[in-house]
Amino acid sequence: MTDAHGTTDGWAASAGAAVQTPIIAIDGPAGSGKSSVSKEIARRRGYGYLDTGAGYRALSWHVLDLGADTTDPDAVLDALTSFDLRLGLQPDDRTVTVRGVDVTAEIRTPEVTAAIAGFTRVPEVRAYLNGVFRRLAGESGLAGVVIEGRDITSVVAPDAPVRILMTASPEVRAARRGLELGSDTGTVAEAMRIRDESDSHVLDLALADPGVDVIDSTELDFEQTIDAVLTVIDRKINPKQGGRNGR
Ligand X SMILES: Nc1ccn([C@@H]2O[C@H](COP(=O)(O)O)[C@@H](O)[C@H]2O)c(=O)n1
Ligand Y SMILES: Nc1ncnc2c1ncn2[C@@H]1O[C@H](COP(=O)(O)OP(=O)(O)OP(=O)(O)O)[C@@H](O)[C@H]1O
Q: Of all residues in this chain, which one has the CB nearest to ligand X in the complex?
A: 53
**Whole-number minimum distance, CB 60 to ligand X, in Å?**
8
- Whether 198 has a binding-site annotation, put simply, is no
Q: Is residue 154 at the binding interface for ligand X, with CB under 6 A as the rule?
A: no
Which of the listed partners (ligand Y, ligand X, none) does 120 bind, with a CB threshold of 5 to 8 Å by partner kind? ligand X
Which of the listed partners (ligand Y, ligand X, none) does 180 bind, with a CB threshold of 5 to 8 Å by partner kind? ligand Y
Q: Is residue 225 at the binding interface for ligand X, with CB under 6 A as the rule?
A: no
Between 40 and 151, CB nearer to ligand X: 151
Which of the listed partners (ligand X, ligand Y, none) does 177 bind, with a CB threshold of 5 to 8 Å by partner kind? ligand Y
Which of the listed partners (ligand Y, ligand X, none) does 222 bind, with a CB threshold of 5 to 8 Å by partner kind? ligand Y
DSSP designation for 2: E
Task: Give the C-alpha separation, 9 to 85, whole Å.
Answer: 19
Residues 6+ away with beta carbon under 8 Å from 225: 33, 37, 166, 215, 217
Residues 6+ away with beta carbon under 8 Å from 103: 58, 61, 96, 97
Residues 6+ away with beta carbon under 8 Å from 120: 56, 126, 198, 199, 201, 202
**Whole-number minimum distance, CB 175 to ligand Y, in Å?**
9
* The amino acid at 14: S
- Whether 127 has a binding-site annotation, put simply, is no
Q: Looking only at residues 9 through 48 of this chain, which bind ligand X when binding is defined by CB under 6 A?
A: 30
Do you know the residue count of the chain?
247
**Whole-number minimum distance, CB 63 to ligand Y, in Å?**
20
Q: Is residue 150 at the binding interface for ligand X, with CB under 6 A as the rule?
A: yes
- Whether 169 has a binding-site annotation, put simply, is no
Q: Are strands 85-87 and 2-3 parallel, antiparallel or unpaired?
A: antiparallel
3-state secondary structure of 1: coil
Q: Is residue 116 at the binding interface for ligand X, with CB under 6 A as the rule?
A: yes
Query: Would you say the C-alpha torsion 223, 157, 77, 201 has a positive or negative sign?
Result: negative
Judged by CB under 6 A, the number of residues near ligand X is: 13
Task: Give the C-alpha separation, 17 to 37, whole Å.
Answer: 27
Half-sphere exposure of 205 (CA within 13 A, CB side): 16
Between 180 and 190, CB nearer to ligand Y: 180
The stretch near ligand X (CB under 6 A) out of 36-44, 53-61, 70-78, 93-101 is 53-61
Task: Give the C-alpha separation, 129 to 119, whole Å.
Answer: 12
State which of residues 22, 48, 144, 149 lies at the interface with ligand X (CB under 6 A): 149
**Whole-number minimum distance, CB 238 to ligand X, in Å?**
27
- Whether 32 has a binding-site annotation, put simply, is yes
Feature table: binding site for ATP: 28-36
